[in-house]
Structure 1
């Protein structure tokens, strides 16, 4: 039985979706806001997410972006926003499909079947929402890092670098890609930025910053290696 997470604060629409989905043998879970959507996506690992954009606590596009950091679960947007720019924002954020309200239930179900079918035939792997090493733990959903059980405060830039590395297990991420993503295209040659921030991350996360075990950044290459004990690793060069 496929599990669908419905992220919607319109209780009447949630009820209608639940009835129609359950009648077609889907298991249905509900989230009334973005925070609940993130927590339930991480804990339940649904087969698909039906997402409204007008949530009470955050914009649905931001929820999509947050989920896409670590999960490739199919996301179908259900929204009353008809402007093409809203559709572009949602699709660029990582949504798989966009259905405007009001919609035909038969069409929605056909799109849902197509999305879950693509998921089953896909070959991509997902990053666990919580990545644990011997030295620290990274919670990609909460956007927090813990060392010895204590929350380590990272700047937005430090978190962005760490996040890019940990969600690319087994793949090389170039310095230019990191610089472009974190600082923008105008700074792809400024490798000194990375040296400075990698040094800051080592001081905050490594037991021995002078001899880092996980965050290594010599002039020619660097890596974040969660080791064979952890769920995955990533590196950049």
Structure 2
């Protein structure tokens, strides 16, 4: 999949921001369509194929959160939220419902394009590696079939819970995972706001995979939201 094959839907009611995003995409050779409300967005999403959705939450007719819910009923396309809502609870809500990333206004074209590249690499990797069981980021590698974790070519010992946590991150490289989502996926139940157990597990895992746990290279903290395994 090249840039020429990619089709992006921009859903933004502010004409200046909509034009700004469109100009940035055009400069990268990315195809796009732009609409200003949720009704038109949903109509296009069910009638045409898009590879990425750039979605503002504060639309005039339908809240962007509802659009995320509807899209996730039938599609796994990356959803990048671009919104002026910068409170953590808004970000967590959007991400928990299925958004892949969240960009707070105002933002630069460089940051926007970087987030888009991460989202598109994620979907390419999913398409390419559906049968693959070996995933790698930098010098960190996991073999799902053999349940082996390697760092710089050497196997490292991880506990079952650390392995489950790391597997979740590798299956969502580049995506922001909220603490509530991680707790539910790793422990199998909803721990609600009890994040102490996750912080302890994350600290233990970082001591094993990071040269300097205080300045992590692989798993980054998204303050107030969750964590992200970087996509190099």
TM-score, normalised by the number of residues in structure 1: 0.51
Deviation at 1:68, TM superposition (A): 0.4
Which residue number in structure 1 is paired with residue 118 of structure 2? 114
Match of 2:104 among 72, 92, 100: 100
Counterpart secondary structure, 1:6: strand
Which residue number in structure 2 is paired with residue 50 of structure 1? 54
How many residues are aligned here?
Answer: 125
What is the 5 A alignment of 1:1-237? 1=4, 2-123=6-127
Counterpart secondary structure, 1:70: coil
Deviation at 1:39, TM superposition (A): 1.3
Structure 1: state its 5+ residue gaps.
125-184, 186-237
Q: Deviations over 1:113-167 (max 9, x none)?
A: 110111111149xxxxxxxxxxxxxxxxxxxxxxxxxxxxxxxxxxxxxxxxxxx
Greater Rg by CA: 1
Structure 2: state its 5+ residue gaps.
129-188, 190-232
Deviation at 1:46, TM superposition (A): 0.9
Counterpart secondary structure, 2:9: strand
CA distance in 1, matches of 2:86, 2:24: 24
Would you say the 8 A contact 1:4–1:48 is kept in 2?
yes
Deviation at 1:85, TM superposition (A): 0.3
Would you say the 8 A contact 1:31–1:40 is kept in 2?
no
Q: Deviations over 1:168-191 (max 9, x none)?
A: xxxxxxxxxxxxxxxxx9xxxxxx
Counterpart secondary structure, 1:76: strand
CA distance in 1, matches of 2:49, 2:117: 17
Q: Deviations over 1:180-221 (max 9, x none)?
A: xxxxx9xxxxxxxxxxxxxxxxxxxxxxxxxxxxxxxxxxxx
TM-score, normalised by the number of residues in structure 2: 0.52
CA distance in 1, matches of 2:54, 2:95: 14
Counterpart secondary structure, 1:69: coil
CA RMSD of aligned residues (A): 1.5
Structure 1 residue ranges (4+ consecutive) displaced by more than 4 angstroms after TM superposition = none
Counterpart secondary structure, 1:73: coil
